[in-house]
Chains A and B, each alone.
Chain A
Amino acid sequence: MNILLDLFLTFVKIGLFTFGGGYAMIPMIENNCVERKQWITHDEMMNVTVIAESTPGPIAINCATFTGYKKAGFIGALVATLGMIVPSFVIIYLISIFLDNFLELTIIANAFKGIKIAVGILILDAAKTMIKKMHKKKLPRAIMVCSCIVMLCINLFAWNFSSISLMLIAATVSLMIFVLNGASEQKGGAKK
């Protein structure tokens, strides 16, 4: 089969059958791209996961772009990425057309009273998992606590401050601390 078509169909399949997004998709991608099709090696797959953690955007998209490029250059990357998006797009577009009418049903409205709570718990649980994997050092902990407090204030008191600005501040602070530490070490200061 044509490699481009194969890439497209494989990623459509991955996009169609993985629920939960993000890390839930990695085993499925590994099963298809590494074991069955052997498009990329296991080590490369590990590498993409690491790259995905350091770059923004959906992890599944990162994997699709990487695999596509590896097999068939720019066009391959494009085709694989589109394949990954198409199922979500079609399903959500159809739902979005009907959702408003759907929400007017009393039973659905009641169900969503419960679902709303589950969503909050899921987000909190995701934060817990992220904290567990975090470096247990002073600086990351301090940044985490400060951003959490600022973000809570933004939500509670409707502060006009975006989370993106918060991220930019955190990145700048971390970079400055790194540069300043480096400078003092070069002067011979053994400050740790």
Chain B
Amino acid sequence: MIYLDLFLGFLKVGCFAFGGAYGAIPLIRDIVLSYRWLNDEALTYMIAVSESTPGPIMVNLATYVGSSQAGFLGAVIATLAVVLPSFLIILLVMVLLKNTLKNKYIQAILRGLKPCVIGIVLATGAYMVLGNCFDTVSTLKVNLQAIIITVLLVASMFSYKHFAKKKLPPTLLIVISAVMGIVT
């Protein structure tokens, strides 16, 4: 049943999303693609929309996937499922287990989880960037337009950081990229 699938799928995301929104994107991608809820293209658009609208990115993605699969009720279920684990865990930590997180075994587990999440995020980002530059990864057919946009975007990020001494805001990068997509 779709409601149950949405609930369990996003509960899993909520349970394993260490490292904030970017840590959650590979998980959401995994689950959304394996259930065939959205294709890679549609999901990428939605990541951009979640980045450019207010609120936690994970919640935005859950609401969108839920709504696209099962309307309003689907959106409610997916959204609640994604926040439920962190809600319960924080309550548990505050009420019962004040020192759990300092436990040496828990710390050992976390020391394994965190670098793993970083590896997963790195691989996902690299795969997405490469996937854009080559039309099909297996034949390595080059998409010149995408490569030009990639180079220009990276260059603008670096020059902004160099001159403004701070990071280019993600929303601004998305706006620049949209303009480039239209112009080229």
Contacts and interface: CB of A to CB of B under 8 A. Distances in A.
Partners in one complex: yes
A1 interface: no
Given A19-B54, A164-B12, A170-B113, A69 B91 contact: yes
Nearest to A156: B137
Given A65-B87, A85-B79, A143-B116, A112 B153 contact: no
Interface of A: 15-23, 25, 51, 53-62, 65-66, 69-70, 74, 77, 81, 84-85, 87-89, 91-93, 95-97, 99, 103, 107, 110-127, 130-131, 134-135, 139-141, 143-152, 154-156, 162-164, 166-167, 170-175, 177-179
B117 A167 contact: yes
Interface of B: 12, 14-22, 24-27, 30, 34, 41, 44-60, 63-64, 67-68, 72, 75-76, 79, 82-83, 85-87, 89-91, 93-95, 101, 104-106, 108-129, 131-132, 137, 145-146, 149-150, 153-154, 157, 169-171, 173-174, 176-182, 184
Nearest to B133: A117
Contact of B181 (A99, A113, A164): A113
A9 to B, nearest CB: 15
A74 to B, nearest CB: 7
A147 B91 contact: no
